[in-house]
Structure formats: C-alpha cells, structure tokens
Structure 1
Amino acid sequence: MNAKRLAIILLLNLLGVALFLSWFLPGNHGAWFSIDKTVFFWFNQHMATSHTFAFLLAIANYRGFDAVSLLAMGLLYWSYWLRDTPEGRRRMLAIGVCMLLTAVVLNQLGHLLPVQHSSPTLFFKQAYRVSELTGIPAKDASKDSFPGDHGMMLIIFACFMLRYFGKKAFSIALVIAVLFSLPRIMAGAHWFTDVAVGSLSVVLVGLSWWLMTPASDAVVNWLWRNLPGKYKPGLPR
C-alpha cells in the first residue's frame, strides 16, 4: 500500500471520527438536534395532513417493501453480471458474498458504539405514527435507532460498487441508497443523523481499511478459488 492511499485512508478515518464526535460530544447533540427535529417534524406534519402521503409512506416502510430495495440493488448487480464472462461471474459471486459478510460485521461493530437512543416517533410524545394513521403495520419506530442499519447496508453496497465496478455503478448505487434510506427517516423510524452521522461514520472508518487495502481482495480471491461450482481460476472448464 503506497503512501498516497494510506493518506486517503487516514483522512477518511479522520472525517468519520470527526463526524461522529460532532454529534456525540455536544450537549443534546448540538446543532445536529435542530436539524433532526426540523427534518422529522416537517415530514411528520405533512403525513398528518395528507392521507395519500401517509399511505405511500406506510407502504414504503412496510417490511415487505425492503424487497424492492433488494431488487433495485440486484438489478444493478445483474446488469454487470450479464456483461461478464463465466469466470467473471464467478468472481462477482465472490464479491457479493464478501459484501454480505462485510455488511453483517460492520453493522454489528456499529452497534458497539456507546450510543442508544429511541427513534423520534418514540422520543416526541406529540409525534404522529404512520402505522396508526393508516392501519398499515409499517416500520415507524425503534428503541435503538443509531446507527441506521438499513442505511448502512445501502451505503456499503454503494461503496462496493465503486471499488469493484467503477464510478458509474457507484452513482447509480448512491441514488438507490438515498432513495431507500429516506422512507425510514420520513416516517420517523430513524433520525436523519442515524444515517448521515451514524451509518456514514462507521462506513468511512471501517470500509476505508477494508476496501482501500488488500484485505477485501484477499477475501474475494479466496472465495473465488474455493466456492463450489465451475470456472475456478486457474482450472480448466
């Protein structure tokens, strides 16, 4: 690993730590709380005055709707799968497995942060809940919402797309991440900072060491060689 890449990793770590501390250290989270409160009540009031908006938000936060975000990510991945060779597709499978393992580990590490707080729908007594307004059992509350695990998974996917498939793939994955992170924030299941501070700070620190060093490639290459099936590298078809 060259000095330039190490400098970038350290800078990303510094940004991640600074982002987290800017929220963690000030009393009542400083200016971040004002942002959180403004974002939450803007959507919460609109949800209460528009049944159509509340209904759409409830659908977007219904547990089954998570399959749509998985479908969006899967379609992007599939678009690159179709262009690849059988050997390349085997490597893409290895990348996908590595991505899933990374997401599980980082999510668990993120919840080791010394933070536990309830979602805004539980924090504010006067908050409306989309499940109560519509009767749809939507995800609109959490007793431990920091960091946002759903948002973190989406950001990890975007970062893997950047590392292994380039900037165009990253741009599309980033749009997917924003679109499918928003419903949880809009419904009040997460604070804005659960994703913008919590998820992002964990990813900046954890993934920089994982994706910008030989670490992820080592795991991908091991999986590429050892997963069952055809087209193992270095072997005849």
Structure 2
Amino acid sequence: MRLSRLITILLLNALGIALFFSWYLPEHHGFWFGLDKTIFFGFNNQMVTHHAFAIFVAITNFRGFDLVSLIAMGLLYYSYWRKSDAAGHHRMLAIGVTMLISAVVLNQLGHRIPVVHSSPTLFFHNAHRAGELTGIPTKDASGDSFPGDHGMMLMIFACFMWRYFGGRAFIKALIIFFVFAMPRVMAGAHWFTDIAVGSLSVVLVGMSWWLLTPGSDMLVNYLDKKLPRRKK
C-alpha cells in the first residue's frame, strides 16, 4: 500500500474519531444538541401547521417506502450494469454481494458503540408524531437511534459507487442518500447527528480501511471466482 494511501486512511480515521468525540464528550453534546433541537422542531412544527407536509413525512417514513430507496439504488447500479459485458456483469454481482456483506458487518459494529440515544420524538415531551397526526403507520420514533442505520446503508452504497464506478456515480449516489435519509430526520425518528455524526463517523473509519486497502478487492475477486456463472 502506498504511503499516500495510508496517510489518506489515517486522516479519514482522525476526522471520523474527532467528529464522534466532538458530539460524545461535551456535556449534553455541546453545540450539536442546539443544532439537533432546531432542526427537529423546525420540521416538527411544520407538520402541525401544514397537514400536507405531515402526510408527506408519514408516507416517506412508511416501512414500505424503504423499497423505493432500494429501487433507486438498484436503478443506479443497473445503469452501470447495462454498459458491461458478461464478465463485467459477474464482477458487478461480486461487488454487490461485497457491498451487502460490508453494510451488514459495519452496521453491526456501529451499534456496538456504547451510546443509547432515543429519538427526539421520544426525548421531547411536546413532540408531535407523524403517525398520530395522519393516522398513517410510520417509523417516527426509535428507542436507540444512534448511529442511523438507514443513513449508514445509503452512505456505504455511495462509498462503493465512488470506489468502483467513479465520481459521477458517487454524486448520483449522494443525491439518493440525501433524498432518502432526510425523511427519518423530518419525522424525528432520528436526530440529525444520528446520521451526520454517528453514521458518518463509523463510515469514515470503517470504509477507509476497507475500500482504500486491498481488502474489498480481495473479497470481490474471491466472489468473482466462486459465484456461479450463467451457462452460455
């Protein structure tokens, strides 16, 4: 591994660790709490004064709506799939399986961080919940919302798209991330920092060691050899 690559990894790790401790160490999470509170009540009050917005928040946090984010990621992935030949298709399958394994493992590791943080809809007694305002069953609360697992999955997808398909793919994946991660914050199922601090810090540390070293390529190459190929 080149020295410049190692320096990049260490810098990303330092950034992730500093980001986490800037939230974890200060009493009541320092300035982050004020930002979290402002963002939460900004959206929460809008749901009360604008019923259409409450319906939008409820629908975009309905469990079935998660399928839409999977479709969006799948369509982006397919846009690169269709440009490849049979060998490229098989390698993309290996990349996809590697991405899924990486997301599951990193998500499990992230939830081992010794932080128990209930969502703002449970923390604030005067919070309004999208499900109650609209009657639509929706994810608008969590007893342990840190780090944001939904946001983390979307971040990992964006990282893999950057690593294996380039900058344009990364930008498109970032758009998908913002579109589908923000509804959780709007509903109050997650604090803003569950994603901006929790998910991001875990991804900065974990994905840097996985994607900027031969680690992910080794697993992709192994799966590319071992996964069954379609018979001609």
TM-score using structure 1 length: 0.97
Structure 2 letter corresponding to 1:165: F
- What corresponds to 1:64 in structure 2? 64
* 1:98-109 correspondence to structure 2 within 5 Å: 98-109=98-109
Pairwise CA distance, 1:230: 3.2
Pairwise CA distance, 1:114: 1.1
- Say yes or no: does 1:156 pair with 2:156: yes
- Say yes or no: does 1:36 pair with 2:31: no
| Aligned-residue RMSD, C-alpha | 0.7
- What corresponds to 1:216 in structure 2? 216
Structure 1 letter corresponding to 2:110: G
- What corresponds to 1:234 in structure 2? none
* 1:156-175 correspondence to structure 2 within 5 Å: 156-175=156-175
Task: Report SS of the residue matched to 1:83.
Answer: coil
What is the CA deviation profile of residues 91-140 of structure 1, one whole-angstrom value per residue up to 9, with x for unaligned ones? Answer: 00000000000000000000010101100000000000000000000100
**Structure 1: where are the runs of 5+ without partners?**
232-236
- Say yes or no: does 1:126 pair with 2:126: yes
* 1:107-122 correspondence to structure 2 within 5 Å: 107-122=107-122
- What corresponds to 1:194 in structure 2? 194
Give the distance between the partners of 1:96 and 1:164, measured in 2 at CA: 11
**Structure 2: where are the runs of 5+ without partners?**
none
Task: Report SS of the residue matched to 1:213.
Answer: coil
- What corresponds to 1:5 in structure 2? 5
Q: How many residues align?
A: 232
Give the distance between the partners of 1:19 and 1:12, measured in 2 at CA: 10
Give the distance between the partners of 2:176 and 2:29, measured in 1 at CA: 28
Give the distance between the partners of 2:229 and 2:47, measured in 1 at CA: 50
- What corresponds to 1:47 in structure 2? 47
Give the distance between the partners of 1:13 and 1:46, measured in 2 at CA: 37
- What corresponds to 2:142 in structure 1? 142
Structure 2 letter corresponding to 1:177: F
Give the distance between the partners of 2:211 and 2:204, measured in 1 at CA: 11
TM-score using structure 2 length: 0.99
Structure 1: which 4+ aligned runs deviate by more than 2 Å? none
Task: Report SS of the residue matched to 2:147.
Answer: coil
Pairwise CA distance, 1:229: 2.0
What is the CA deviation profile of residues 152-193 of structure 1, one whole-angstrom value per residue up to 9, with x for unaligned ones? Answer: 000000000000000000000001001100000000000000
Give me the identity figure in percent.
67
Pairwise CA distance, 1:48: 0.8
